[in-house]
Amino acid sequence: MHWIDLTIMACYMVGMLGFGVFFLQRNEGADDYYVGGRNMSSLHIGLSVVATDVGGGFSIGLGGLGFVLGVSGSWMLFTGLLGAWLAAVFLIPKVKGNKVFDKAFTFPEVFKYYFNPHVALVAGIISAIGYAGFTSSQILAGAKLATGTFADLDLQTALIVMGSVAVLYTVMGGLKAVIYTDTIQWAILMVGLIFIGIPVSYHAVGGWEAIQQTVDPAMLSMTNLSWQNVVDWAVTIIPIWFVGMTLYQRIYACNDEETAKKAWYLAGVFEWPIMAFMGVLLGLFAKVAFTQGMFDYLGVPETLANYDSEKGLPMLLRTVLPVGLMGIMMSAYFSAILSTADSCLMAASGNVVSDIIGYFRDVDPESDTFLRFSQITTLMLGVLALLIATSMTNVLDLMLYSYAFMVSGLFVPIIGALYWQKSSSIGAIAAMVFGGATTVCLEVIFEQLPAGLDGNVFGITVSAIVFIAVSLLFPDDESETGEKLDEEEIKKMKTANY
């Protein structure tokens, strides 16, 4: 890579670290560190939400889908649009309309209120594990992008560089730094894609005529996917909008309910069609370039059977972008990756400090000690995520497994807590354990599941059955459940829409 491109990349990373230092000096407590001071605008929140949700899945995963499926791969992020809008209608009014959550920091605090602290602890553990894994997937995405682009860079070195930058500015700046850097990173990504990545790549592969002549016509169709793809994406991605710790932190960070709703509607539109089609188109262009032999000089396999589809996009950029533009485009893609890694790291830290450690000992969110302890915890989790990343090879699989682990255990209990009056604490814990365990066991033991479906489908089904059955068999004693109020208030909270 030319020294000009390296200089641009270095300036970008130094700038991200600068944001961390800036907010390090201004964060005064848990409100600033974990929920951005609770006064963020819909624009900043909306852009941060979509930047977080897309991240490495866009830069690497969606490129891989475009390489394999063509434009039909864009349907993956259509489920993101549905999830965002459904959450705006059914979840946000429940959270922002309830004064109990005005001082909340984490997603499991919802369980603590509707059930008891034991349920919140289990939810916190599941969420922390899931987001640690997802943080790893983003670091791995950045490393794969870097090694596919920089000729002499090995994966381990790339992991250390990408992981260190993401972890350090997140540790220092907290959620305020994350949200504001997300906005800047989003702008860099959009400029890079619209004015550099897509037009330069399109021209390099020979334009529309060459694309039509090179790829299977099915790759230019919106129906080149199976019903299993649709089901797997839907049950994995839509529910995350109801159980994602990163999203609850941003709901808490909004001024009010209307601000949060606007942010979610905005995020949905940016996910699909805007980001979805940009991602798969670049993957499609990479497939054309591969077929045309443009990557032969890199020593790639001659057949697709031996080729990692996720490497197509980095190799395309490395091949077609001139000096200067390469550095800008790489900064754009790294911005997408870091915008997810930092958010997931903040989510895992919040779960560990507030939901897990806070279960065993009282913590004062307003103290300086709490802030410093939170930063140390974030650092330790970042190092752990980096270690996890060194043992994985496929970004999209790691991302979806992390999502699936959380979704299969947490989705049914949160819907029950908000909308089913007979839901019980024991039922919630049982659903979390059996739902998550089902998904993990199926994914580990079986290479092929019935009907070719994802293990998450079966995990959510088991979770729902267990939740309903156990809740009916073991109802809560309302006088003993953690943060609940009197019986009339409980009934009101479980039946009213806020």
Taking the CB of residue 18, how many other CB atoms lie within 10 A of it?
15
124 neighbors 313 (Cβ within 8 angstroms):
no
End-to-end CA distance of the chain: 54
Say what the pTM is: 0.86
In a domain, 484, yes or no: no
- Mean pLDDT computed over 3-19: 80
**Residue closest to 405 by CA, chosen among 135, 127, 138, 136:** 127
Taking the CB of residue 218, how many other CB atoms lie within 10 A of it?
13
In a domain, 251, yes or no: yes
- C-alpha span between 42 and 45 (Å, rounded): 5
In a domain, 492, yes or no: no
- C-alpha span between 391 and 33 (Å, rounded): 30
Q: What is the pLDDT of residue 152?
A: 67
Q: What is the pLDDT of residues 417-431, one digit of tens each?
A: 999 999 999 999 999
Q: Name the residue with higher pLDDT: 411 or 315.
A: 411
Peptide bond just before 273 cis, omega within 30 deg: yes
In a domain, 442, yes or no: no
In a domain, 415, yes or no: no
In a domain, 372, yes or no: yes
Degrees (nearest 5) of the Cα angle 401, 404, 408? 150
Quote the percentage of the chain above a pLDDT of 70: 88
Q: Give yes or no for residue 258 having a pLDDT over 90.
A: yes
- Token pair belonging to 5: 């491109």
Of the ranges 73-87, 259-273, 331-345, 350-364, which one carries the lowest mean pLDDT score?
331-345
- Token pair belonging to 317: 């950029």
- C-alpha span between 320 and 272 (Å, rounded): 27
In a domain, 381, yes or no: yes
Q: Give yes or no for residue 22 having a pLDDT over 90.
A: no
CATH of the domain at 121: 1.20.1730.10
Q: What is the pLDDT of residues 80-110, one digit of tens each?
A: 999 999 999 999 999 999 999 999 999 999 9
Q: Give yes or no for residue 293 having a pLDDT over 80.
A: yes
Q: What is the pLDDT of residue 150?
A: 67
Number of domains the chain is built from:
1
- Mean pLDDT computed over 242-249: 93
Q: What is the pLDDT of residue 484?
A: 46
In a domain, 477, yes or no: no
What φ, ψ does residue 254 adopt, rounded to 5°? Answer: -80, 155
CB-based burial, 86-105: b 16+ in 10 Å, e otherwise: bbbeebbbbbbebebbeebb
- Token pair belonging to 368: 């300086």
345 neighbors 177 (Cβ within 8 angstroms):
no
Q: What is the pLDDT of residues 41-77, one digit of tens each?
A: 999 899 888 888 776 556 677 888 999 999 999 999 9
178 neighbors 170 (Cβ within 8 angstroms):
yes
Q: Which domain does 74 fall in, by range?
A: 3-395
- C-alpha span between 93 and 96 (Å, rounded): 5
